[in-house]
Each structure stands twice: as C-alpha cells, then as structure tokens.
Chains A and B, each alone.
Chain A
Amino acid sequence: MLEARAATLVKRSIKATAKRAGIDLAIACMDLTTLEGKDTPAKVRGLCARGIAPAPGVPSVAAICVYPNLVETAAAALAQSAVKVASVATAFPSGLSPLETKLRETVDAVAAGADEIDMVIDRGLFLAGRYGEVYDEIVAVRDACGRATLKVILEVGELGSYEAIRRACDIALAAGADFVKTATGKLPISSTPAIALVMCEAIRDYARQTGRDVGLKLAGGIRSTKSALGYLALVNETLGPAWLSPDRFRIGASSLLDDLLMQRDKDATGNYSAAVYVASA
C-alpha cells in the first residue's frame, strides 16, 4: 500500500497555474548542490551567482550546498543575499570517522560561515543495532551546530527496508534534527516516492506527538520538473501545505534547476528550449 499510495501522489496532474506555482516553489526550496572532488572556488562562485538569480524573474534558491573547504567561498559570494550556505559535515558521505573529528568538522564549518549543516548518520552503528549511539551522535552534532540548522542524512539506500528507514528517521527526529534528509546522492538508491512518504509519515506523527515541526529534504536522483512536482504533491497531501516552504522542505539537486527553468520557459512561451538557452553555472 505504501508504494501504491506514493505512486498515486507523485502522479498527481499538476497543470497550468499549479504548475507555475510548483516550479517556483521547487526553485525556492532548492539546495543547489555541488559535492564533487573536483569542486573549486570558481565553480562554487558560479553556482552561488546562479542560486541568487537563476534567471530573470525567478526566485532565489534556498541554499547552496558545498563541502566544508568551500564554505568560506560560498559565504562570501552569498553575503549580500538571503541564500543560505549549507555545508556537508561529519565525514560525509560515509560518516565513518571518530566522533571528535566529526564534531570538529561541524564547528569549523559553522565558524567558516555555514548557516546549515548536512550531517550523515553512522549507518554502521545503526545496522549493528546501536541505536542509542546513533542518537547520541546526532545530539552531539546538534550541540556543535549552535544556531546553524541541522539536516540529518539517513542514507536510505544503505538501510535496507522501509521499517529501518522509519526507525532511523524517528531517531533523528527525537535527537533534534531540524530537517531529515534522504540521502547523500552518492548511491544509486536515494529518494523514491515511497521513501519520501515513509519520512513524511514519521515527521507528521512526530509533529502530532511533540508539536515540533521538522523539515524534509529530498536529495539524489531528482532531475526532472515532473518528478519535483510529484514530490511537492506528496508533501502537500501528507504533511499539508504548511510544509510547502523552504523552512520545512528542501530538494537537494545539481541538475534539476535546468529542467525547472526550461519548463518555466515552456509554460510562458509554449516551447521547450534547448539547454543552451538556460545559463548554467
């Protein structure tokens, strides 16, 4: 039923005014991301410029997401804008370093100007059944973040079942995550509609029990407007319209913005433009 329900939700037909609103919403909720070994300051500055003003009349993205070494560059480039700097941390993507190292990395990233920290949970601990330690680690990173927003990456593709994803999600929520996030984007399995639905259900139940609203970030594999709009519908009908805001919903993506802009043009002009008409970073 989970997969069937998720499939129904992402197949909602989003047309006309709803499509226009959805495209701008997806852009405004985007963590425009570059997480490659070959990232350079120049690349990041380009990405920041694009994030602030993707195209004339288009809203800014929510954040630019980079590796810790590039936080300073991003912070400088985004200083005059409302776009946040997000940094991955805690030995991204594996999370297999000593806790002290992870905490130090987090503190340094925040000091360098990161507004948001995307941490990974230690899947080794989780799969070994050491849930208390997973929880303690998240609490410690939460403390190290200070005022920075904490997003907790579950890396769903390594957890093995919907039940495990739900359990990891519940741990992250209880430990104080501001966002729970699906994946690092480094694995073939990252965000699927059913996985997003499991996490939405966890967030909804947690909000009902505690009154604290936690955000959802989907990352990995969302490349088309159609898929992004489908996820908006899924969040809309599971968590409600209050979650359709950058405060509570993010899409982490690198190439999705191109298609959103092209679909936005198509909606305005009737023509789907060639990629060369969309300025990339």
Chain B
Amino acid sequence: MTPAALDFGYAPALESTASVALRERYGLFIGGEWVASADGRTFATVNPATEETLAHVASASAADVDRAVRAARRGYEKYWRKLRPAERAKYVYRIARVLSERAREFAVLETLDGGKPIRESRDFDIPQATAHFFYHAGWADKLSWAVNGPDRTRPLGVVGAIVPFNFPLLIAAWKIAPALACGNTVVLKPAETTPLTALAFADVCAEADLPPGIVNVVTGDGTTGAALVEHPDLNKISFTGSTEVGKSILRATAGTPKRVALELGGKSAFVVYDDAPLDQAIEGIVSAIYFNAGHVCCAGSRLLVQESIAEEVVERLRARLATIRHGDPLDKNTDIGAINSRAQRDRIAELVQSGVDDGATLAQVPWTPPERGYWYPASFFTNVQPTYRIAREEIFGPVLSIMTFRTPDEAIERANNLPYGLAAGVWTSSGSLALYTAQRLAAGVVWCNTFNQFDPSSPFGGYKESGFGREGGLAGLRAYLDT
C-alpha cells in the first residue's frame, strides 16, 4: 500500500478544566475564615482569552485590610511566634505537599485567570512555587546558619505581600514561603486581574491546617494595596510590580519603621556577541521576550547584537518566529497565550505605535486573533534608536527592540544606560568575554548563554529603579528576619 497523505498539523490539545471547581463568589480570607467585604462590594475577574467572567471577588476596603492585619497580628502573637521552628517547618512543608498534589488544578486556574499558556503554568509557575515552599521549609529550623548567630533569628512580625498579575502564585510564594519559614505572618494582596490562585492558596493553607491568621488574603484594586501599605501595624511590605507604584510605596512608608522590599520594572538587555552559538541565542531571545507573552519583569526586551552578525540574527529570529504558536492558553501546544487585560493590551499597542511613529521598523508574526479576548502577536523592532520610547520604556508585552553595537564596551555602556537594572543576558563562546561583560553590567541577575533560569536557592532582584532587596537564596531569607 502507498504511504498515507503526510499531512501533520497539530490537532487542538486542550487541557481539561475538570480539576478546577470555581466558586461563583469569593470572599476575603481573614483569620482562617471566608468573610464578605465590610461594604459588600465585589469585582469580576475575567478570563482574558474569552472575556468571560470567571467569578466575583470581594473588594477589600481599608476596614477589611485593617481586619486582616489585626488577624495576622493575632496569629503572630498567639501562635506563630511561639511555635518551635521545627513545627513551623512542618506547616510550610505541608503547604508544599498540598500544592504539589493540587498542581494541575492550580496550573489550569492560573491559565484561566491570567491567560498564560498552560505549558508555562504547568511546567514553570506551579512547580517553581511549590519548590519555594519545599526549599524554605528546610530553612525554618536552621536559621542560625543563615545569619550571624542564633540570637539574630527573630522574625519581623506581620508582612504585607503585594503581587502582580504576571506570575500570581509564584511571586506570592516567593514572599510567603520565606516569611512563614522565618516566623512572620502574612497579608497577601493579589493583583486585581488575577486573584484566583491566591484565593485557592487560602484553601491550601486551610487544608494544611495552618492556624488562623497566619496567612490572610485580601483582594481588590490599587486602593486595597494602598490601604495595606499605609496600615500602621505592618512590619514589612514586600512589593512586586510597577516602578510607579513602587515609588509611591516608598513615599508612603518613608519615616515609618516598616521595612520595604521592591521588585519593580525592567528593560533588560540581551547582549549577543559575534562568536555566540546563534541557534542557542535565538532560543534565548525567544525565551527572554516571548515567555509569558513578555509579561515578565526581567524580560530581555532590548536585544543588543554585534553589528557584524545583526542581519543574520534578525533573519534567524524571523524564521524562528514563524513557528511560534499563538492561541488558546489552555492548548498544550500554545507558545503565546492571551494578554492579561484589555488595559495591558492597549498599553502594548500604544507603545508599539510610538515605535512606528518614531521611525523603527516593525515585524509581526502574521496571525489573526480570535474576536474575543485580549491578544498581541509576537513582534520585534529593527532600526531602533536608543532614544525611542520602545528602547527605554517597559512594554510588558511580546515586543522586542533590536539594536546593534560594535565593541564590548559599547554593549556594556548601552546596556547600562537606563534607570532600570533587573536582569541581563550575555551570549558568547568566550568565557573571558562573558565574565568581562557580566562584571560590568548593572543588573541584579546576569545570565550567560541562557536566560530565565530560576531556583529558590538563587537570589533575584534589581538595581536602580528596578528596586532593591532580593528574593530567594540566603539574601531573600534574611530579608524576613530582624537581623
């Protein structure tokens, strides 16, 4: 018999949503109980891929935030600070276990609420979040090895954690895991557009039998966050989000005893030298800017490529992008899903338009998005001048600005010539050139011949307007102790 017709497309491969039991309404999780907001106000959280409302979520006012902080203080005084560290470790470990058992459900929930591809929520967000709890469970009774001497292992008290929409559960875990392991209690405020995994996490805390008040979740918009920041009985604010909000937090906490850690925006440089392994570098670029549709604070959104190979790199990138799969975030083969919100999509479109108006050359993957939902195709700009907005402002979308350089020092100078300093990438086959460059880049993280590698044991954080304080590793751990 003759060979079959060799047509091999990918049929839709949708992840089942059966593991998720969405409630119609979610309250606030305060003192171990679900409560309505004091004024009864709620807001809708939508699936950005369909614009359908997923659930109605309580909107916490200043009064609700006050209740939550009081509950956290009570939990701290009554249970958590009195608990032997080894017992604390068991709770954190239990959270990790429950989270990993419910990993599939959390991955689907994250994708439904945030629009990120299921491949990423399944293979990155949830496993990483779980890893942070496992890692910090191990630290809880060994803190004297993390600091100079056993009498410096005092917790801070009540921690306010404000997290963004791009990695909702993961960034919450970055903050909650070390906070709990060090003996603090937490009030978590998830982003307005992605509250669902934080609320499901409250269930995990209940399932892990955490005493009341140790973890509290208040949902709402920026005013809820501001109420938390301004609460007088908070010992620390750990914020991940925009530089603009970060600045207002610093203003609001100035002159108070509150500790502040800020992980803010970025415009990270991705430096490719002419001796770099190009296929690897292209994969690095794709990961750097198109991972999570570019909704990544450390996204490598400025590609600095040595002039002698610039054309070759652009041509290879163009060919590679032709295989990028846009579409339904729940499809296991989707590489780029939905943009998190209409506002974010509009901001991306506005900045891209500014690039076109400035005179840069836009290349976009041809793709017709569905009628409903918020979408933006993988894009890159060539002919970008360092003065353009697209070369200086954080776009927070799948849009790359490509610029060239001639010498290592010029690459370094250009990379550092911005108020941001979160991450950077260096691609070269020369070890000495990699080290020379990395030592001179003003960025919290420099990845050499790779990008977007994370581990709970490795600190992450920025310089300049990308914030201060580190999360993960010893530095991240100490930030939750009164050393």
Q: Cβ of A60 and Cβ of B10 under 8 Å apart?
A: no
Majority secondary structure of chain A interface residues (helix, strand, loop or mixed): helix
CB distance from A251 to the nearest CB of B (A): 14
Residue from B4, B5, B287, B331 having most chain A Cβ neighbours under 10 A: B4
> Is B323's CB within 8 Å of the partner chain A?
yes
Q: Cβ of B287 and Cβ of A1 under 8 Å apart?
A: yes
* Cβ-closest chain A residue relative to B10: A18
CA distance A222 to B4 in the complex (A): 21
Q: Cβ of B3 and Cβ of A2 under 8 Å apart?
A: no
A-B pairs, top 9 by smallest CB distance, nearest first, are A13-B13, A13-B332, A28-B3, A16-B11, A24-B4, A1-B283, A18-B11, A1-B280, A15-B13
CB distance from A262 to the nearest CB of B (A): 18
Interface residues of A, count at CB 8 A: 34
> Is A246's CB within 8 Å of the partner chain B?
yes
Q: Cβ of A5 and Cβ of B8 under 8 Å apart?
A: no
> Is A48's CB within 8 Å of the partner chain B?
no
Residues 188-243 of A at the B interface (beta carbon under 8 Å)? 201, 232-233, 236-237, 241
* Cβ-closest chain B residue relative to A56: B1
CA distance A10 to B449 in the complex (A): 22
Q: Cβ of B280 and Cβ of A13 under 8 Å apart?
A: no
Q: Cβ of A21 and Cβ of B3 under 8 Å apart?
A: no
CA distance A26 to B2 in the complex (A): 14
Majority secondary structure of chain B interface residues (helix, strand, loop or mixed): loop
Q: Cβ of B10 and Cβ of A13 under 8 Å apart?
A: yes
Q: Cβ of B323 and Cβ of A21 under 8 Å apart?
A: no
CB distance from B89 to the nearest CB of A (A): 32
CA distance A22 to B283 in the complex (A): 26
CA distance A57 to B3 in the complex (A): 10
Q: Which residues of A contact B13 (CB under 8 A)?
A: 13-15
Q: Which residues of A contact B451 (CB under 8 A)?
A: 1
Given known A-B contacts A1-B280, A12-B10, A21 and B4 have beta carbons under 8 A apart: yes
Q: Which residues of B contact A19 (CB under 8 A)?
A: 11
Given known A-B contacts A21-B4, A246-B3, A2 and B280 have beta carbons under 8 A apart: yes
> Is B185's CB within 8 Å of the partner chain A?
no
Q: Which residues of B contact A82 (CB under 8 A)?
A: 2
CA distance A15 to B12 in the complex (A): 7
> Is A53's CB within 8 Å of the partner chain B?
yes
> Is B9's CB within 8 Å of the partner chain A?
yes
Q: Cβ of A14 and Cβ of B10 under 8 Å apart?
A: yes
> Is B6's CB within 8 Å of the partner chain A?
yes
Q: List 6 A-B contacts (CB under 8 A).
A: A2-B283, A4-B283, A11-B119, A17-B11, A22-B8, A59-B1
Q: Cβ of A12 and Cβ of B333 under 8 Å apart?
A: yes
Q: Cβ of B6 and Cβ of A21 under 8 Å apart?
A: yes
Residues 1-47 of A at the B interface (beta carbon under 8 Å)? 1-2, 4-5, 8, 11-19, 21-22, 24-25, 28
Given known A-B contacts A58-B1, A246-B3, A18 and B287 have beta carbons under 8 A apart: no
> Is B350's CB within 8 Å of the partner chain A?
no
> Is A103's CB within 8 Å of the partner chain B?
no
CA distance A12 to B11 in the complex (A): 11
CA distance A170 to B283 in the complex (A): 21
CA distance A13 to B118 in the complex (A): 12
CA distance A14 to B331 in the complex (A): 11
CA distance A78 to B434 in the complex (A): 57
Q: Cβ of A59 and Cβ of B3 under 8 Å apart?
A: yes
